[in-house]
Structure 1
Amino acid sequence: MVTYLDSGNIFNLPDVKNYAHGCNCAGAMGKGIALQFKEKYNQMYLEYKKRCKDGDFSLGDVFSYDYGEGTVFNLGTQKTWKTKAELKAIEDSLLKMLVYARQNGIEKIALPKIGAGLGSLVWDDVKATINRVAKDYDDIDLIVVENYRNI
């Protein structure tokens, strides 16, 4: 099931310990929510950066990182920080994330408006993709915060 929240902070949602965000495949997390992930989970960032450098993180991939209390899903949605996100990559990475979540008993994942901020895609197109991919995973709650607000 997908729930859309108009505004908020994914890290401050009650009872949520699993998070996802769109990433480029070049190893950069210097702006937007990616920067918050980098600062909050620095060891994850170092591993992500190495995977990118080694060519082990591509469009449509998911790098799942267990931080002890939950999982961070890094979704390969953009080639570089200079390029637009790609809908097909969002679809592929979301599907892989949901398969992993089901296999590992993860029932709730919060994510921002992936691909439509720095990724420059039209949010309605991304939203339709999220809804289409998530429809077969109604046992997993996706909570999408459409506008960041530090509350």
Structure 2
Amino acid sequence: MAEGGGDVGFSFEEKKGDLFDCPETDALAHCVSEDLRMGKGIAVLFKKKFGGVGELMSQGKKTGEVAVLKKQKRFVYYLITKVKATGKPTYDTLRASLKELKVHCVKNKVHRLAMPKIGCGLDRLEWEEVSTMICEIFSDIDIHITVYRVL
């Protein structure tokens, strides 16, 4: 899946480690609900580390869209994949959010993106399907995506 050569093109890697130890120039992405409760899972860590819930709420984003914070040198993306924190996303809502994320990355010249196994923890989507979807959506742009898994 990864392109050889320099930094041009699409590449995708999975690695063990803490997502928050990635380079501070990497943009970050994770999934949340429209209500932006962020009360469980890795979302709690995003809320503690970056705050900005009021700013995110004021963006008024709906399921299938992306809310964005700019923190220091990077963007932090909140993929809205479900209406309520108690709900579950679908592959379609995740796909719509990922497409919005891609548009923002291209427009803002984001070339490095780090994320957890989005949609696959508490949200119970299948990683094999999600990772294929990520590669399909981003394969035609110049971006390196690193997925961190805790082990």
Q: Residue 5 of structure 2 aligns with which residue?
A: none
Ranges in structure 2 where 5+ consecutive residues have no aligned partner: 1-9
Letter in 1 for 2:73: E
Are 1:36 and 2:29 counterparts? no
Bigger CA drift: 9-18 or 68-77?
A: 9-18
Ranges in structure 1 where 5+ consecutive residues have no aligned partner: none
Q: Is the 8 A contact 2:24 2:73 kept in 1?
A: no
CA distance in structure 1 between the partners assigned to 2:38 and 2:96 by the alignment: 21
Cα deviation, residue 50, structure 1: 4.7
Q: Residue 79 of structure 2 aligns with which residue?
A: 75
Matches within 5 A, 1:49-128: 49-51=57-59, 56-128=60-132
Cα deviation, residue 45, structure 1: 2.1
- TM-score (normalizing by structure 2): 0.85
Bigger proportion of residues as strand: 2
Letter in 1 for 2:28: Y
Please give the per-residue CA displacement for 1:65-109, whole angstroms capped at 9, x wherever unaligned: 111221101101122221111111111111111111111111101
Of the three residues 142, 145, 149, the one matched with 2:145 is 142
Cα deviation, residue 15, structure 1: 5.6
Q: Is the 8 A contact 1:110 1:143 kept in 2?
A: yes
- TM-score (normalizing by structure 1): 0.85
Q: Is the 8 A contact 2:81 2:93 kept in 1?
A: yes
Q: Cα RMSD (Å) of the superposition? A: 1.7
